[in-house]
A and B are shown apart, each in its own frame.
Chain A
């Protein structure tokens, strides 16, 4: 992990520090939102779960270009594959009568929300020597948020099909989180 001290906080370092704090705050806000509205309401759940997959895929694509560590690159490849599957499963769920009869017109987002776009911007801006740590820090926050969302909606969600989707995805996200924690050391 990088450490930030008064002596090495040049302009670039300061920006990284601010970004890191911003990511952490954004992550906390996301987790709080996932634990409340996202845990019960179909529309909020689909928006958040869909944006989460978009973020994971976009972040992993940046990581494939910038990551220094081989294990980080391998992890990024896995994120693209697994979150593509997750996005496909969500899209299929939305086409079922179980969802269309209760929530007509519900659709997955096609671009990440502002908060996640900020995370992606920070990743793109991260200097090469700090990229892996920045990515893994974001991965931890993002997966914690997703797990909170899936666990909550899986238990309390208002649509059985989407709750089933949430329970189907949660074990994978839990495994991702353990891997990320191991990689962060």
Chain B
């Protein structure tokens, strides 16, 4: 059944302010939280943070004092919503930074997979599938790190059996020249309305992951953990560049505000329908009712300032974003697309890159002396005699990425050796860096 937030009545803004005790919500219990409830909490925090930071940027770029007041009023409530959402995550003694990281990467996998499967535009779908295989690999690297850090819990306790933990596109090969992260943007005029929502969701969630690793990546004391966080934090920078370049850069500030509020409505509406925890479902419902009012404030501003009918910019929702298993889809993707890389806005198998392409130079520079994402697997094998994997549906679909194979024989590696032998010697064949002992 479709839902039109412009036709609904929300909670008046003047009645939305909450007290400290109302905001200081009881966290979920890590022992019995559903993995996808954790995912929904993580996603909604990222959405609220993006909305708040957008509002600040808008305010910094307008001299209109009355508009600044409207933005400040709505933004204060968005800030309260962010607290009520993010404070659902339990404290460090229940879920430490690496455990939360596993949750972040499960979000990246199953959120991106759903969005890709429900993306009407083939180019955008390709962009999502490309990023998905990289986040899929991060989950596997962090799961191995989690074991090495020895807190007693294993990644499966966070993810359940919903998401497999196994190599995707190996992280070491994801590093590429910044120009090769820029994609072709959609347009607000012609893009499918679902495409706009999908891209905004990925920008917000990847940005949150980037910010998390930027700030929490230096909290562990173990050198290998710090190194892995900084390496993957750099990929998150690539992913934010990749996803944000899909958004229409020419839509005005007012329209963009409307899109942000609409985006929040869509996700609260989605999660309200799929949440299994009744207490948390009540928060999604409350926030949807608040967001409907925020949307209508932004809609009035679009009409007043741009003379545009807001109904022409957004559409009623007919698809709820749903966290669900994507194992079969992911297995096919890994099999078909693991060897892809990017050149500008296009994707191609790495062996089609010309000799001397900037990709090989970038690889040779950042991976000089080895990559923490490889080292974490090597150390796990050394200590436990095997890697940490959760392959519920059979062996890895790419033979060269099966554990017993003991090393990637992918196009990436072949090409690095053939087209940049010096780079291969400095990266693939590099001795492990002693400083990275855990």
Contact = CB atoms under 8 A, between A and B. Distances in A.
B346 A160 contact: no
Interface string B5-46: 000000000000000000000000000000000000000000
Contacts, number: 57
Nearest to A88: B344
A160 B190 contact: yes
9 contacts: A85-B179, A85-B344, A96-B121, A96-B124, A97-B122, A97-B192, A98-B186, A161-B187, A164-B185
Contact of A89 (B126, B249, B345): B345
Contact of B184 (A96, A97, A100, A160): A96
A93 B343 CA distance: 15
A96 B123 contact: yes
A182 B307 CA distance: 44
Contact of A92 (B179, B184, B195): B184
Contacts of B184: 89, 92-93, 96, 165
* SS class, residues of chain B in contact with chain A: loop
A115 interface: no
A20 interface: no
B179 A161 contact: no
B183 interface: yes
Interface in A156-175: 159-161, 163-165, 167-168
A178 interface: no
A53 B193 CA distance: 32
Contact of A167 (B186, B192, B250, B345): B250
B346 A97 contact: no
Nearest to B192: A97
A168 B248 CA distance: 11
Nearest to A102: B190
Contacts of A95: 122-123, 126
Interface residues of A, number: 20
A84 interface: yes
B308 interface: no
Given A95-B122, A96-B121, A97-B120, A84 B187 contact: no
B73 interface: no
Nearest to B183: A92
A165 B184 CA distance: 8
A84 to B, nearest CB: 7
Given A95-B123, A160-B190, A88 B343 contact: yes
A97 B121 contact: yes
Contact of B346 (A88, A98, A100): A88
Contact of B187 (A85, A91, A92, A160): A160
Contacts of A163: 187
Contacts of B276: none
Given A89-B184, A164-B250, 10 more contacts: A85-B344, A91-B346, A95-B122, A96-B184, A97-B122, A97-B123, A98-B121, A160-B190, A161-B186, A163-B187
A91 B184 CA distance: 9
Nearest to A164: B187
A98 B191 contact: yes
Interface string B166-196: 0000000000000100011111011110010
Contacts of A98: 121, 186-187, 190-191
Closest CB pairs A-B (n = 10): A88-B344, A92-B184, A98-B190, A92-B345, A160-B190, A160-B189, A95-B123, A97-B121, A160-B187, A96-B123
Interface string A74-108: 00000000001100110111011110100000000
Interface in B107-123: 120-123
A161 B123 CA distance: 12
Interface string B244-282: 000011100000000000000000000000000000000
A164 B248 contact: yes
Nearest to B120: A97
A89 B343 CA distance: 10
A161 B190 contact: yes
Contacts of A168: 185, 249
A84 B126 CA distance: 20
B186 A88 contact: no
Contacts of A161: 186-187, 190
B121 A84 contact: no
Contacts of B346: 88, 91-92
Interface in A30-81: none
Contacts of B195: 97
A92 B191 CA distance: 14
Nearest to B184: A92
A175 B344 CA distance: 20
A164 B126 CA distance: 20
Contacts of B122: 95-97, 100
Interface in B311-369: 343-346
Contacts of A97: 120-123, 191-192, 195
Contacts of B126: 95
Interface in B351-408: none
Contacts of B185: 164, 168
Contacts of B249: 168
Nearest to B346: A88
A163 to B, nearest CB: 8
